[in-house]
Amino acid sequence: MIRHLISAADLSRDDALLILDTAGELAQMADRPIFKLPTLRGRTVVNLFYEDSTRTRISFEAAAKRLSADVINFSAKGSSVAKGESLKDTALTLEAMGADAVVIRHGASGAPHRLAGWVRGSVVNAGDGTHEHPTQALLDAFTMRSRLGRLEGLRVTIVGDVLHSRVARSNVLLLHTLGADVTLVAPPTLLPVAVGTWPCEVSYDLDAELPKTDVVMMLRVQAERMNAAYFPTVREYSRRYGLDGSRMALLPEHAIVMHPGPMNRGVEIAADVADSARSTIVEQVANGVSIRMAVLYLLLGGSEASA
C-alpha cells in the first residue's frame, strides 16, 4: 500500500479495490450497536483544514475516532496560520507533535504534495484547490458499486464545472483505473483546454448523453463563475446543464444520480431530483466515513506501532 494518498492516480487497480473492499467490511461492522475498532489506538491523526469544510472534516474525524485514533483538529482560522505562519512551519509543528497522519484540505493545488515533503507521517489529500479530492472519488466509486453491483464498463457522466473541480479530476482518474467509461459534459468554457488528453469522453450535450448513462454526477457550479463569463447567466446554465425532473426521465430505469455536495438546489440540480429515489446523495455521505476509515486503516495500519 502507498504511504500517502494525494492523487487518485497514486492508486493501482488493486489498491483501489482493496480500499473499496475494506470499506465494505467496515460498513457492515458499522451496523452493529457498539462499533469502535482498536486498530489505530495510540496513533495521532491531524485534520489540517485551511478551507472551511465541516462535512469533510467531520467525516475524517468520525473515521479516525472509530478506529480509536487520537484526533487533532487544526483549523487555519484563528490559529497561527491566520497570523501568517507558512505551511512549512505548520508542517514542522505537526511533525514535532508526532502526527502519524495529516489530513489536509487546502485552497492551493499541490499543497499536499508540498506537505508530504516536510512531514514523516502519511498525508491524505482532503481536497487541494482545483486539483484533486481522492477520497471523494473513492466514496463515489463505492456508492456506484453498492448501488449497481459493478464498476467495470459502467457509463458515468460527470456534468458541470470540470475546469475548477477537484472531484471531477479524481473521479476521471479513479474510474478509468477501475474500468468505468467516463463522459464529461460541460459548456466548453468550463473544460480544460487539453481535456482531450484525459482518459474520458467529452460532450457539450447533456440530453444526448443521459439515455446511455448508468451514473450521472452533478458538480456544484458557483454563481460567481458567471462574472468571469464562463456562462451568461445562472438561468441559462441551469437550462442547458442542470438536472431537472424532465431530464432525469431521459435516464435508463436503473440509473442513479450523484452529487458530491454541497448542492445548489435549482441550479445544477432540481430539488425533486435531489430528493428522488435515484439520488444517492445521503448515501454518499455515509459511505464517506467508511471509505476514510479504510484509507486511514490501510495507510497507517500496516506500519509500526499498529495495535
Instruction: Select from 73, 104, 101, 145 the least CA-distant residue to 290.
Output: 145
Among 113, 147, 212, 240, binds another protein (CB under 8 A): 113
Q: Using the 8-state DSSP alphabet, how is residue 265 labeled? A: B
Instruction: Select from 50, 42, 49 the least CA-distant residue to 98.
Output: 42
The reply on whether position 230 binds another protein by CB under 8 A is: no
Among 85, 93, 110, 202, binds another protein (CB under 8 A): 110
The reply on whether position 43 binds another protein by CB under 8 A is: no
Instruction: Select from 101, 263, 10 the least CA-distant residue to 2.
Output: 10
Query: Which residue's CB is nearer to another protein, number 4 or number 66?
Result: 4
- Of the candidate spans 41-49, 124-132, 151-159, 290-298, the one that interacts with another protein by CB under 8 A turns out to be 124-132
The interaxial angle of helices 166-177 and 13-29, nearest 10 deg, is 100
The reply on whether position 225 binds another protein by CB under 8 A is: no
Among 72, 108, 250, 263, binds another protein (CB under 8 A): 108
Question: What residues contact 78, with CB distance under 8 A and at least 6 apart?
Answer: none
Active site residues per annotation: 55-56, 83, 105, 133
Among 39, 62, 72, 192, binds another protein (CB under 8 A): 192
Among 51, 61, 100, 128, binds another protein (CB under 8 A): 128
Query: Which residue's CB is nearer to another protein, number 34 or number 194?
Result: 194
Least distance from C-beta 269 to another protein, angstroms?
Answer: 23
Query: Which residue's CB is nearer to another protein, number 88 or number 235?
Result: 88
The reply on whether position 176 binds another protein by CB under 8 A is: no
Distance of CA 203 to the CA centre of its chain: 23
Among 60, 74, 142, 198, binds another protein (CB under 8 A): 198
Among 36, 88, 150, 235, binds another protein (CB under 8 A): 88
Burial class (CB in 10 A: 0-12, 13-18, 19+), 212: middle
Query: Which residue's CB is nearer to another protein, number 171 or number 290?
Result: 171
- Of the candidate spans 27-35, 66-74, 103-111, 279-287, the one that interacts with another protein by CB under 8 A turns out to be 103-111
The reply on whether position 100 binds another protein by CB under 8 A is: no
Instruction: Select from 281, 290, 292, 307 the least CA-distant residue to 29.
Output: 290
The reply on whether position 166 binds another protein by CB under 8 A is: yes
Grid cell digits, residue 235: 438561468
- At 278, the amino acid letter reads R
Cβ atoms of residues 220 and 258 within 8 Å: no
Question: What residues contact 52, with CB distance under 8 A and at least 6 apart?
Answer: 77
Query: Which residue's CB is nearer to another protein, number 113 or number 147?
Result: 113
The reply on whether position 104 binds another protein by CB under 8 A is: no
**Helix segments in the chain, DSSP class H:** 13-29, 54-66, 87-96, 111-116, 134-148, 166-177, 206-209, 234-241, 245-248, 271-274, 281-300
Binding site for another protein (CB under 8 A): 86-88, 106, 108-111, 113-114, 128-132, 166, 169, 192-195, 197-198
